[in-house]
């Protein structure tokens, strides 16, 4: 426990690197708690994305057929799945964030516990799930197309903006959710709206020009297009857009962290 405290100020350490082992342990514990105790165990990590993909593929290719120009021999399921990976990462963490601190009232009462790592743990857990989904997609592409584009090597860079934006948003919502309990239900509605305001089940080219500016203000649009480009189409990143949202992600992360650290002093009083 002493390792969590700054020996000079007797206050919790705020350096994320100093808490790296605790973060890894909490992520591992969360994944085990979620899957290990169930009958199928970690197989749920495979079943959840596959079942989601199957439902969306059936709805948007059979019930509501989506015409995707220039898809060639690439199955629509892969085009859809490539976009769902970053979106599901974002929506899972953001939907959990408003109730994150409320879920651990005992941690709030422990002065030495670094509460700011809880959004990081939530992000780490969602990131692990996204990597499994990514592996399934890569295997599917290999089986179907017999090769992978070299642009998959850009995946670490493609992940950076969405990880930064998600973490900053999670810090902000985790703190806000302690004081305003209506944030949770509101965020669930907003993320559902974001699904249809993001080019996941339809190509960006289908959006009328006069509404295209709405997509430009949606960071998820750029992110899902980047994932689709490097995984499915074999195109490099749009470096101009990537740079804008990478810098925006850094700003959002700093602002979210600052907000969390400023407001955390009142958590115990509210709870």
Residue 3 lies in a domain: no
> What is the span of the domain harbouring residue 46?
11-270
Q: Residue 57 in contact with residue 80, Cβ under 8 Å? A: yes
Residue 64 lies in a domain: yes
Dihedrals phi, psi of 69, to nearest 5 degrees: -70, 150
pLDDT of residue 36: 66
pLDDT of residue 257: 96
- The model carries a pTM of 0.86
What is the number of domains present in the chain? 1
Show the low-confidence residues of the chain (pLDDT under 70).
Answer: 1-14, 35-44, 60-61, 63-73, 111
Residue 6 lies in a domain: no
pLDDT of residue 205: 83
pLDDT of residue 70: 58
Residue 4 lies in a domain: no
pLDDT of residue 64: 63
- At a CB cut-off of 8 Å and minimum separation 6, what does 3 contact? 18
Residue 2 lies in a domain: no
pLDDT of residue 191: 95
Residue 129 lies in a domain: yes
Residue 233 lies in a domain: yes
Residue 1 lies in a domain: no
């Amino acid at each position: 426990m002493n390792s969590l405290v700054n020996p000079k100020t007797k206050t919790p350490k705020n350096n994320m690197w100093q808490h790296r082992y605790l973060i890894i342990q909490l992520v591992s514990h969360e994944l085990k708690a979620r899957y290990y105790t169930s009958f199928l165990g970690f197989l749920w990590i495979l079943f959840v994305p596959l079942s989601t993909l199957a439902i969306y593929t059936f709805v948007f290719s059979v019930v509501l057929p989506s015409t995707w120009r220039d898809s060639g021999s690439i199955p629509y399921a892969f085009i859809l799945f490539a976009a769902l990976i970053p979106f599901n990462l974002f929506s899972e963490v953001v939907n959990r964030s408003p109730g994150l601190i409320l879920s651990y009232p005992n941690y709030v009462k422990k002065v030495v516990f670094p509460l700011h790592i809880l959004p990081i743990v939530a992000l780490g857990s969602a990131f692990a799930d996204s990597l499994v989904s990514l592996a399934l997609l890569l295997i599917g592409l290999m089986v179907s197309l017999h090769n992978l584009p070299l642009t998959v090597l850009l995946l670490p860079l493609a992940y950076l903006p969405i990880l930064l934006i998600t973490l900053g948003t999670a810090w902000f919502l985790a703190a806000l959710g302690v004081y305003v309990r209506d944030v949770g239900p509101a965020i669930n509605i907003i993320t559902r709206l974001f699904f249809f305001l993001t080019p996941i089940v339809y190509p960006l080219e289908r959006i009328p020009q006069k509404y295209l500016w709405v997509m430009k203000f949606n960071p998820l649009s750029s992110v899902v297009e980047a994932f689709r480009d490097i995984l499915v189409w074999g195109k490099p990143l749009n470096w101009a857009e990537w740079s804008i949202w990478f810098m925006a992600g850094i700003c959002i992360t700093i602002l979210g962290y600052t907000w969390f650290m400023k407001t955390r002093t009142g958590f115990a009083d509210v709870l």
